[in-house]
Structure 1
Amino acid sequence: MIPDDPRSVLRSTELTRFLLAPNPGPMSLHGTNSYVIAAPGAAGVVVVDPGPLDEQHLRRLAEAGRVELILITHRHADHSAAAARFAELTGAPVRAADPAHCHGGSPLQDGEILHAAGVEIRVVATPGHTSDSICFHLPGDGTRGSVLTGDTILGLGTTVLDFPDGTLGDYLGSLDRLERLGPATVLPAHGPMLPALDTIVRAYRDHRQDRLAQIRAALEGLGADAGVQDVADAVYAAVDPSVRPAAELSVAAQLQYLRSGTGAP
Structure 2
Amino acid sequence: MSAPESVPPRWTGGPVTDRATCVLEDNAGPMTLDGTNTWVLSTPGSDEAVVVDPGEDDPAHRAAIGTVLAGRRVVLVVGTHRHRDHVGGMDAFLAEHPAPVVREAGTHEVAGLRLRVLATPGHTSDSVCVLLDTGELLTGDTLLGRGSTVIATGHQQGVDQGGDLGDYLRSLDLLLTLDADVVLPGHGPVVRDPRAALSTQRQHRLDRLDQVRRALAAGHRGVDDVLVAVHGQLEGTLKWAAAQSIRAQLDFLAQQP
Q: Same fold (TM over 0.5)?
A: yes
- The count of corresponding residues between Structure 1 and Structure 2 is 238
Partner of 2:112: 118
RMSD: 1.4
1:183·1:195 contact (CA, 8 Å) conserved in 2? no
- Match runs of 1:68-87 below 5 Å: 68-87=75-94
1:89 aligns with 2:96: yes
- 1:257 corresponds in structure 2 to 252
Q: CA deviation at 1:199?
A: 1.5
Q: Which sits farther off after the overlay, 190-199 or 28-37?
A: 190-199
1:228 is displaced (CA, Å) by 0.5
Q: Does 1:209 align with 2:203?
A: no
Is contact 1:182-1:196 (8 Å) kept? no
Distance, in Å, in 1 between the alignment partners of 2:76 and 2:66 is 11
1:240 shift after superposition: 5.0
The 2-side partners of 1:196 and 1:29 are apart by: 20
Superposed CA offset, 1:1-57 (max 9, x none): 722xx7xxx211121001100111100001000000000111111110010110111
Confirm whether residue 196 of structure 1 aligns to residue 193 of structure 2: yes
Counterpart of 2:147 in structure 1 is 157
* Structure-2 residue corresponding to 1:103: none
Q: Which amino acid aligns with 1:209?
A: L
* Runs of 4+ off more than 6 Å: none
Instruction: Identify the match of residue 62 of structure 2 among 54, 58, 61.
Output: 58
Residues 1:46 and 2:50 are matched in the alignment: yes
Aligned counterparts of 1:32 and 1:240: Cα–Cα separation in 2: 23
Q: What is the match of residue 121 of structure 2?
A: 127
Q: What does residue 36 of structure 2 align with?
A: 32
Distance 1:118 1:182 in 2: 20
Contact 1:183 1:199 in 2 (8 A): no
Matches within 5 A, 1:235-250: 235-237=230-232, 239=234, 241-250=236-245
Point out where structure 2 has 5 or more consecutive residues left out of the alignment. 1-9, 155-161
Query: How many percent of aligned residue pairs carry the same amino acid?
Result: 42
SS at match of 1:222: coil
The answer on whether the counterparts of 2:113 and 2:133 sit within 8 Å (CA) in structure 1 is no
